[in-house]
Amino acid sequence: MILTRHNTPVFLLNAGLLSTQTLMEHVVEVRSNTHRNRGFSVTWGQDQGFYVKQHMPDEGLWESDSSVVNEARILGVLEDVAALHGSVPTLRYFDAVAQTLVTDWLSGMLPCRDLARSSASDPLAVARHLGRSLAGLHAGLVRVRASDDFAFSEQTPWVLRLRNLFPVVTADQSWGQAELVRIVQSERATMAALERLERTWPQRRLIHGDMKWQNCLLPAEPGSATSGCVFIDWEMAALGDPLWDLAGMAQSYIGDWMNIFPAETTDASDATVQHAADAFPTHRAALRELWSGYASVERGASRPRLAALLAARLIQTLYEDIAGEPDIAPQHAIVLQLACNALADPERGAESLFGAA
C-alpha cells in the first residue's frame, strides 16, 4: 500500500490507531511532509494526531533494510532507555511489510530554526540550550545496546570517503557537484584530513547521524525555548562520533549565514567576501554558545576535532545542495574555502569558527 494524503487515514484505521468515531466527530487534516521518504501528519482536535512515514525508494524495488526500517528499529531500542524519554519520539506502530512507522504528533513544537533565528527569543540562549540538550541526548545514548537480532550500522559519513568520487558529470552528479569534487580533491591537506577523520572514526557509541535544525523540535510557547527538546528523524542513526551530531547542528548556523547573500550574487568579489565577513560575528557568537553548552556537559570533547567534522559536514551539505546545478555559486565557494581551511588546520579553524578558546 503506497501511502497518499487520501489513504493514510485508512492505514491508521486498519492499524487500530484511528477510530471511526474520531473521523465522525472531528475534522481530520492530512498534510504531506515528504522529503527523503513519504511523510504525513494526521491531526485533529487540539493538535492530537500522528506522524506517518513510509519508505520511498529512489528507484526499483524496496530495500529490505531501508532508512525507515532502521529508524523503527532504533526507536524501538530507545524506548527501553528511561533517560531518553521525552527527548525522542515514541514509536506507536511499525508495519515491516509496508515499511511504514507511526509516531505521536508532537503538538506545540517547532523546528528550532524558527526560534534560533527569532528576534522574539534569545538566539544565543537557544544555541546554548541546543548544545546542552544534545550532550544530554548523547549521555543517554551511551546506555543504548543493540539486540541480538539487530546490529547498529557502522557506516561512516560518505564525505569522509570523497576520494572514491570522480570529478565527472554523470546522471547522478551535476556539473556543480563535479567541480566541487575536483576542487576538494586538488587540496592535499583537505583530502588527508578527511581520510584521517575516517581512520579515527569511533564505532562504539550510537549517534543520531543527521542532526540539523530541522530535526530538533523546541516548544513553540514564547519564553519556553530553553525547556524541552525533542530530536526526530532517526533514519541515519549509526555507531559513530557524537561530535558529528554537534557538527550537524553547527552547519545549520553556517547554512543560515550562507543565506544572507543576495539572490543576485554572481561572483565572489571582494565586496561579497567583505559582506560575508561583516555578517559572520553574529553566527560565530551562536556557534560559540552551541559549543559551550555542549562542552559544559561533555567536558572531554575536542574543539579542533569538532571544527574538522564541521568542515566535513559543510562539504557534504554543499555537495547535496548543488545537485542539478551547473556550477558553484559564490556563497558556496566561500563556504567551501572556509571548510577546506578548517580541515587543513583544525586548531585555527576552531578559532575562526567558534572564537578564541
Strand partners, 95: 100
Looking at the fold, whether 91 and 132 belong to one and the same domain comes out as: no
Given a cut of 60, whether residue 24 has pLDDT beyond it is yes
Given a cut of 60, whether residue 225 has pLDDT beyond it is no
Q: Which of 83, 107, 131 is the last residue of a domain?
A: 107
At 187, the amino acid letter reads E
* pLDDT for the residue numbered 36: 84
Indicate which CATH number applies to the domain containing 91.
3.30.200.20
Is residue 31 assigned to a domain?
Answer: yes
* pLDDT for the residue numbered 63: 72
Given a cut of 70, whether residue 268 has pLDDT beyond it is no
Looking at the fold, whether 184 and 308 belong to one and the same domain comes out as: yes
For the chain, the distance separating the N- and C-terminal CA atoms, rounded to the nearest angstrom, is: 54
* pLDDT for the residue numbered 263: 59
Domain that holds residue 85: 8-107
Is residue 26 assigned to a domain?
Answer: yes
Is residue 194 assigned to a domain?
Answer: yes
Mean pLDDT of 225-254: 92
pLDDT (tens digit, 9 = 90+) per residue, 57-113?
Answer: 876 667 777 999 999 999 999 998 988 999 999 999 999 999 999 999 998 888 888
State how many domains the chain has.
2
Looking at the fold, whether 19 and 145 belong to one and the same domain comes out as: no
Is residue 1 assigned to a domain?
Answer: no
Looking at the fold, whether 246 and 132 belong to one and the same domain comes out as: yes
Q: What is the C-alpha separation between 26 and 170, in angstroms, rounded? A: 50
Looking at the fold, whether 115 and 99 belong to one and the same domain comes out as: no
Is residue 289 assigned to a domain?
Answer: yes
Is residue 3 assigned to a domain?
Answer: no
Looking at the fold, whether 119 and 17 belong to one and the same domain comes out as: no
Q: Which of 48, 77, 107 is the last residue of a domain?
A: 107
Is residue 143 assigned to a domain?
Answer: yes
How does the average pLDDT of the chain come out, rounded? 90
Is residue 173 assigned to a domain?
Answer: yes
Looking at the fold, whether 78 and 225 belong to one and the same domain comes out as: no
* pLDDT for the residue numbered 59: 64
Given a cut of 90, whether residue 267 has pLDDT beyond it is no
Q: Which of 56, 84, 107 is the last residue of a domain?
A: 107
Q: What is the C-alpha separation between 320 and 23, in angstroms, rounded? A: 40
**Nearest Cα residue to 8 out of 105, 79, 77, 128:** 105
* pLDDT for the residue numbered 150: 77
Looking at the fold, whether 135 and 206 belong to one and the same domain comes out as: yes
At 300, the amino acid letter reads G
Looking at the fold, whether 181 and 294 belong to one and the same domain comes out as: yes
Mean pLDDT of 221-231: 71
- Contact present, 237 and 89 (Cβ < 8 Å): no
Q: Strand 100-104's sheet: what is its strand order?
A: 29-32, 38-44, 48-54, 100-104, 91-95
* pLDDT for the residue numbered 118: 60
Higher pLDDT, 114 or 225: 114
Higher pLDDT, 131 or 63: 131
Higher pLDDT, 265 or 85: 85
Indicate which CATH number applies to the domain containing 303.
3.90.1200.10
pLDDT (tens digit, 9 = 90+) per residue, 31-48?
Answer: 998 888 999 999 998 889
Looking at the fold, whether 249 and 209 belong to one and the same domain comes out as: yes
Q: Residues with Cβ < 8 Å from 343, sequence gap 6 or more? A: 189, 190, 193, 194, 308, 311, 312, 349
The 3-state DSSP class for residue 41 equals: strand
User: Percentage of the chain with pLDDT > 70?
Assistant: 93
Given a cut of 90, whether residue 269 has pLDDT beyond it is no
Q: What is the C-alpha separation between 73 and 99, in angstroms, rounded? A: 11
Alpha-carbon Rg of the chain, whole angstroms?
21
- Contact present, 115 and 223 (Cβ < 8 Å): no
Q: What is the C-alpha separation between 253 and 315, in angstroms, rounded? A: 14
Work out the pLDDT band at 201, boundaries 50, 70, 90: very high
Place of cell 547498529: 152
Given a cut of 90, whether residue 357 has pLDDT beyond it is no
| 0.95 exceeded by pTM | no
Looking at the fold, whether 102 and 146 belong to one and the same domain comes out as: no
Query: Which three cell numbers mark 267?
Result: 561572483
pLDDT (tens digit, 9 = 90+) per residue, 275-297?
Answer: 778 889 999 999 999 999 999 99
* pLDDT for the residue numbered 115: 77
Looking at the fold, whether 73 and 181 belong to one and the same domain comes out as: no
pLDDT (tens digit, 9 = 90+) per residue, 292-324?
Answer: 999 999 999 999 999 999 999 999 999 999 999
